[in-house]
Chains A and B, each alone.
Chain A
Amino acid sequence: MYMRDFIHLAGTSLVAHRLRTVLTSLGIGVGIAAVVLLTSIGEGVHRYVLSEFTQFGTTLVGINPGRTTTHGTSMGVFGSERPLSIEDAEALKQLSFVEAVVPFVQGNAEVEAGNRRRRTTIYGAGPQMPEALRMRVNSGAFLPDDDPTAPRALAVLGSKLRQELFAYRNPLGKRITIAGNRYRIIGVMEPKGQVLGFDLDDTVYIPAARALELFNRDTLFEIDVMYRSNVRVERVVDGIRRTLMARHGREDFTITTQEQMLDVLGSILNVLTFAVAAIGGISLLVGAIGIVTIMTIAVNERTSEIGLIRALGARQSQILGLFLGEATVLAAIGGLAGLAMGLGVASLLRLVLPELPVHTPWIYVVLAEVLAVVLGIISGILPARRAARLDPVEALRDE
């Protein structure tokens, strides 16, 4: 049998039952569309979360006070008998691979400027924060490199807070009162938006030592260390651990690397995407059952035709190939239609809900089509084998 005849035979039977072909393909198509759309949303969310994290840079290590083995986060943030101090942060600056060290304290207080007041988040930070966290100053300057234990009372505003307190006036050089203490504004940050629920624009940055004083605490929330990108993270963690152990006498702190966090997050999100795709895949399974059903019917209908071809000398494997080919083409058409539907809905979603991150990597598109074809072959096997095993004599008599 020639390839041309082969294609002709399979093709004509598909064209002859147009409605049937369309409906069967539609079954697979809906399944593929669901899978493509859901994985696109999953991948979009994945990328969105990763970009939220990596916008601060990837060469970051966070150090928190306190240490627990069972909990994800340490309760030491709220209180610890062995605090992390500003001096600890200073000591870390001595390490050779360290580019920037930022001590962090966070709190909530009322900020007053003229006759406007607003309760907002206060960040106590170090002068190296903009470079370590890749944040940019919009106007003025960030906190200067003062004596870290006795810095001047200077403040930098987040963009939203500046808007709320000063509207369109120039805030630089003005004075604000944070919980009764006066600070001079020396800069305004560029808008950064919400990061994992923390609004980084509705904030004011003051020197860490001042914040500790303001909130009457003796431990920092966190020390962020940015290391040089050509140094291995294990060496960095090791160096930090040795320095702090030398100062504290024991390991009473927790070190988290950005890499670890990204790994954990990435794997969680992958599992989620996979689970959602699997739920969408149920439709695909039903679509595959549709192919099995229709192919079974087709084999029944065309028994005499099969008998004739066999009588003319077609081998079993050729019959098998004929029906398998038909099932595969059905699935492939469905897959293509499904891809079109899925991508269409995805771009529609992008238009209607711009805040929902949707992203379809090309590899998914290819994989979905491959999946459809494979499903077609698998669901074609049973009916095709039945067709191939027909006894030509019996089959011809069927008419």
Chain B
Amino acid sequence: MRLHSGDVSLFAWRALKGYPARTLLMLIAMAIGVAAVVVLTSLGEGARRYVSAEFASLGTNLLIVIPGRSETAGINPSTMMGETPRELTLDDAVSLTRSFSVRRVAPITVGSANVIAQGRQRESVILGSSHELLAIRRWQLAQGQFLPDTDLDLATPVCVIGSKIRNEIFAARRAVGEWLRIGDRRFRVIGVMGSEGRSIGVDVHDTVIIPVASAQQLFNQSSLFRILVEAKSRSAIGPAKQFVVDTLRERHQDEEDVTVITQDGVLATFDRILNALTIAVGGIAAISLGVAGILIMNVMLVAVSQRTAEIGLLKALGATRRQILVLFLIEALLLSTLGAALGLAVGQLGSLAIRYAFPLLPAYAPAWSVSLSIVVAVTTGVLCSLLPARRAARLDPVLALSRR
């Protein structure tokens, strides 16, 4: 007997349509698995993209110089905060500009202080930095201008305030040109930061930026918290890092007491962590695909025993074992493909809903998870129907026909 592929698919299709309730349930089971994998990995991918974007907004080709170094490799919390006997100074920052591979350098000091104007006060974050910071961090100004381009050790009494500070203290009135008291010193407001700025570590809205020398006077310290160094290009990051380490070692009496981290390095770490999380979560969701596979196997087994007579007839008409096997496998293939397609549609709708509900989170299901979940779904479906299909193929036509 010859089987036409059209006949085979029609046969499988009719078999599925013959039991709509059970087919529907199996489709739902498969679809739940695929949809879960798609939605969860799209969440993970969204988180990864969000973090990448945050890091990109830090600036590009960035090196961060942190005072202190721990013998054990890597960065740990104790190097992220902490003091060193030989501090990073403004002169250190200036010395870092003397290289072809370095484009910009911005020293940073951080602290908190009381900000007072016109009877209103607020405790806020004070960021001491320089003119270059705006370009390095790609921030936008809403009004006025940024810190003036002067020598780093000039403590000009000017400040740039975040939009939240502006709203809290100046409310509807004009802020640029007014005096602002920070701690026990007076500063002239010369600019207001744009509203976009929320990036890792600092909430720009709630920050007052003053010249680094002024901040050092305010907090009575001569050390820097960080130095941000922007390399000329991507390929210049390596040489720039070497230059920074060498220069600072020379300046610090041959003692290597700083940690230099590259933005790429930190980003790669985060990428790895979030990717691993996405894979883990997707994997856990994929367990349900296995459960759906078990269900398909179960139902196919039932179907084989119910359709014994039909199989017997086919065999009596001359169908080979192989043809019966293919017949049932095609049925499983059809079932799991339909289920996977349904699941994919639901999953994509789900991630669309997430993107709609949380515009910040670019939740797009990654291609690998979509293709993998479909492949896994279809393979599980077919593999699980192997046992029932073989059982059907092995039926003795005489016995099968005589059953009824």
Q: Which A positions have Cβ atoms within 8 angstroms of B?
A: 19-20, 23-24, 26-27, 30-31, 34, 38, 65-71, 74-81, 105-110, 118-121, 178-180, 196-199, 202, 214-218, 221, 252, 276, 279-280, 282-283, 285-287, 289-290, 292-294, 296-297, 301
* CB pair A108 B220 closer than 8 Å: no
Name the A residues within 8 Å of B67 (CB-CB): 108
**CB of B349, distance to nearest CB on chain A (Å):** 17
A108-B68, A297-B302 given; name 15 further pairs at CB < 8 Å.
Answer: A30-B291, A31-B288, A70-B206, A71-B125, A75-B125, A78-B110, A79-B126, A80-B111, A80-B112, A106-B83, A216-B221, A217-B221, A289-B29, A290-B294, A293-B29
CB contact list, B62-95 vs A, under 8 A: 67-72, 76-79, 81-87
* CB pair B84 A27 closer than 8 Å: no
| Nearest neighbor of B222 in chain A, beta-carbon distance | A216
* CB pair A121 B82 closer than 8 Å: yes
Name the B residues within 8 Å of A293 (CB-CB): 22, 25-26, 29, 295, 298-299
* CB pair B83 A215 closer than 8 Å: yes
Interface string of B165-187 (1 = CB under 8 A from A): 00000000000000000011000
Q: Which B positions have Cβ atoms within 8 angstroms of A?
A: 21-22, 25-26, 28-29, 32-33, 36, 40, 67-72, 76-79, 81-87, 109-114, 123-126, 183-184, 203, 206, 215, 218-223, 225, 255, 257, 281, 284-285, 287-288, 290-292, 294-295, 297-299, 301-302, 306
* CB pair A77 B81 closer than 8 Å: yes
Beyond A66-B112, A290-B298, whether A108 also contacts B72 by CB under 8 A is no
* CB pair A79 B83 closer than 8 Å: no
Beyond A107-B68, A180-B85, whether A34 also contacts B287 by CB under 8 A is yes
* CB pair B81 A78 closer than 8 Å: yes
| Nearest neighbor of A65 in chain B, beta-carbon distance | B112
Name the A residues within 8 Å of B123 (CB-CB): 66-69, 252
| Nearest neighbor of A23 in chain B, beta-carbon distance | B298
* CB pair B301 A286 closer than 8 Å: no
Name the B residues within 8 Å of A178 (CB-CB): 85
Q: Which of A30, A38, A199, A297 contacts B76 (CB 8 A)?
A: A199
Name the B residues within 8 Å of A23 (CB-CB): 294-295, 297-298, 301
- Point out which of A27, A34, A66, A293 has the most chain B C-beta atoms below 10 A from its C-beta: A293
| Nearest neighbor of B298 in chain A, beta-carbon distance | A23
* CB pair A119 B87 closer than 8 Å: no
Q: Which of B77, B110, B184 contacts A75 (CB 8 A)?
A: B110
| Nearest neighbor of A108 in chain B, beta-carbon distance | B68
Name the A residues within 8 Å of B285 (CB-CB): 279, 282
Name the A residues within 8 Å of B76 (CB-CB): 197-199
Name the A residues within 8 Å of B287 (CB-CB): 30-31, 34, 280, 282-283
Name the A residues within 8 Å of B87 (CB-CB): 216
| Nearest neighbor of A164 in chain B, beta-carbon distance | B71
| Nearest neighbor of B384 in chain A, beta-carbon distance | A23
Name the A residues within 8 Å of B79 (CB-CB): 108
Give 9 pairs: A residue, B residue, CB < 8 Å, sorted on A: A74-B112, A78-B81, A78-B225, A179-B85, A196-B77, A215-B83, A216-B222, A252-B123, A286-B29
* CB pair A81 B183 closer than 8 Å: yes
* CB pair A81 B219 closer than 8 Å: yes
Name the B residues within 8 Å of A285 (CB-CB): 32, 288
* CB pair B83 A217 closer than 8 Å: yes
* CB pair B281 A26 closer than 8 Å: no
A36 to B29, CA, bound (A): 21
Name the A residues within 8 Å of B298 (CB-CB): 20, 23-24, 27, 290, 293-294
A360 to B361, CA, bound (A): 34
Name the B residues within 8 Å of A19 (CB-CB): 301
A276 to B281, CA, bound (A): 8
Name the A residues within 8 Å of B222 (CB-CB): 216
**CB of A43, distance to nearest CB on chain B (Å):** 16
* CB pair A286 B32 closer than 8 Å: yes
* CB pair B36 A279 closer than 8 Å: yes
Beyond A196-B77, A198-B76, whether A215 also contacts B84 by CB under 8 A is yes
Name the B residues within 8 Å of A214 (CB-CB): 83, 85
**CB of A58, distance to nearest CB on chain B (Å):** 22
A230 to B126, CA, bound (A): 40
* CB pair B111 A78 closer than 8 Å: yes
| Nearest neighbor of B123 in chain A, beta-carbon distance | A67
* CB pair B295 A109 closer than 8 Å: no
Q: Which of B22, B78, B291 contacts A31 (CB 8 A)?
A: B291
Name the B residues within 8 Å of A279 (CB-CB): 36, 40, 281, 284-285
**CB of B260, distance to nearest CB on chain A (Å):** 14
A34 to B292, CA, bound (A): 14
Q: Which of B72, B295, B297 contacts A286 (CB 8 A)?
A: B295
| Nearest neighbor of B225 in chain A, beta-carbon distance | A78
Name the B residues within 8 Å of A119 (CB-CB): 68-71, 257
The 7 A-B pairs at the shortest CB distance, nearest first, are namely A79-B111, A108-B68, A215-B83, A179-B85, A107-B83, A79-B219, A66-B112
